[in-house]
Amino acid sequence: MAVVKFEDVATRVNTKEDRHNTDLVYYVGGDHIDSESLKVSKRGIIKGAPLGPMFYFGFKPGDILFVTRNPHLRKCAMVDFAGICSEKTLVIATKDETVLCQKYLAGVMQSDDFWDFLEENKSGSVNYFINWSTLAEYEFDLPPIEEQRALAEKLWAANDLKEKYQHLLAATDEMLKAKFREMFGDTSQNSKEWAMPEFGNSLIGIENGKSFVCQNEPRKNDYPAVLKLSAVTYGEYRPWENKAVLEPSQFNPQAEVKAGDLLMTRKNTMELVGACSYVYGTPPRLMIPDIVFRLKVKPCYDKRFLWALLNHPDQRRRLQCIAGGTNTSMVNISKERLCALPMVVPPIKLQREFVAIANAAEASKAELKKSIASIDAVMKGLINERL
């Protein structure tokens, strides 16, 4: 088995595109690429998007997009569509498919050895990044082409199965949205004519998170850490999305996340501002940042119902309408505007009926997530032991 240098078998594709005059439809930013994912599953539409001047690199189906910023996030994945990305994302391709299989290369670039090398050789002091010159120096074992293709076929078959389970997860969420609409109608218009007081009248209070000085990396073990904005998004609580604080003495018990908390982002992009998560369970010593609210709810609401209500598209549009700010990329929701927003209060019995349905769906989703985790373990083994 030969040992090769990255730049000898792979290349950086430098196709330039004028985003103002292109037939391409899609763009990919760093947020569209999930950590440790083989395939890019999200994208944005170029037309009308507030893209920066650095979005001028084109890519085609089969190319690998490597995000150079914050290598600890492990963002590197293959696309199956054409589009553009920024200069902070490298477009990578094999030089010769008969020497290095592109799908095999995608696996190599997800290996622990690959990311460990980049971690040891990253540049910068606070916002770490990887240069092409660093990536070019990475060395790895290159088996014969037929062996590469056989291993890549197994890896991508596992990824295809994982995607099917992910689609089932998405379908379960869509079913819940449909059931919600069936039971409660259009809640933004109060089509059922229930009480609709100002939201503040249904709350005991709104707690602000705290401000912390953090590292740019997630915590290890139970070291105190602060939730990132990405931990509270579209109804899902993601405790693994966190940043370690610089000193353990910064731990603040008043800001600690607790099971049963209802969290809402008060500052975010327009798409994500007001996103709400119910905390079923959480590791210890994770804290709420100052850009997240903790909602304390009166008995007129079941907290898990309110979680579903606030994340329903009807209410998300209303929350976005009360967001403001001078920053074009980040907006915020003030306590005053949130408390003044009229919010429907269905009968508590009906709320709990929906929560029972939602809990059953969550149980099904938990089983799907276990299956996905098992597939991830198989893929990890293929990548690290065989590739």
pLDDT digits (tens, 9 = 90+) for 249-268: 889 999 999 999 999 999 88
Long-range pairs of 379-383 with CB within 8 A, sequence gap ≥ 24: 379/38, 379/155, 379/158, 379/159, 379/162, 382/107, 382/151, 382/154, 382/155, 382/158, 383/107, 383/108, 383/110, 383/111, 383/112, 383/155
pLDDT at 234: 73
Mean local confidence (pLDDT), 221-250? 88
Q: For 163-222, write each residue's pLDDT tens digit.
A: 999 999 999 989 998 999 999 999 998 989 999 999 999 999 999 898 888 888 888 888
pLDDT digits (tens, 9 = 90+) for 24-72: 999 999 989 999 999 998 999 999 888 889 999 999 999 999 999 999 9
pLDDT tens digits for 107-163?
Answer: 999 999 999 999 999 998 778 999 999 999 999 999 999 999 999 999 999 999 999
Instruction: Please give the Cα distance from 258 to 280 (Å, whole number).
Output: 9
Cα–Cα distance for residue pair 30/88, rounded to 1 Å: 9
Please give the share of the chain, as a percent, with pLDDT higher than 90.
Answer: 81
**With 90 as the cut, is the pLDDT of residue 327 above it?**
no
At 105, the pLDDT band (50, 70, 90 cuts) reads very high
Predicted TM-score (pTM) of this structure: 0.78
Q: In this predicted model, which residue has the larger pLDDT, 270 or 346?
A: 346
Reported confidence tier of residue 328, pLDDT bands at 50, 70, 90: low
- Backbone φ and ψ for 232, nearest 5 degrees, come out as -125, 95
The partner residues of 206 in beta bridges, in order of sequence, read 295
Residue 200 is encoded by which pair of tokens? 């503040």
**What mean pLDDT do residues 290-318 have?**
94
Distance of CA 306 to the CA centre of its chain: 23
For residue 130, with 0-12 CB atoms within 10 Å meaning exposed, 13-18 middle and 19 or more buried, which class applies? buried
Instruction: Return the pLDDT at 108.
Output: 97
Nearest 5°: the CA angle 51, 317, 178 is: 115
Distance CA 299, CA 203 (A): 9
Residue 330 has pLDDT above 90, yes or no: no
Say which amino acid occupies 376. Answer: D
CA distance 168 to 173: 9
Q: How far apart are CA 207 and CA 210, in angstroms?
A: 10
Q: What is the DSSP string of 47-95?
A: TT----TTEEEEE-TT-EEEE-B-GGG--EEE-SS-EEEETTEEEEEES
User: Encoding tokens for residue 114?
Assistant: 């690959």
Mean pLDDT of the chain: 93
Nearest of 149, 172, 199 to residue 340 by alpha carbon: 199
Q: How confident is the model at residue 86, as a pLDDT?
A: 95
Other CB atoms within 10 A of residue 69 CB? 16
What residues pair up with 332 in beta bridges, in sequence order? 267, 324
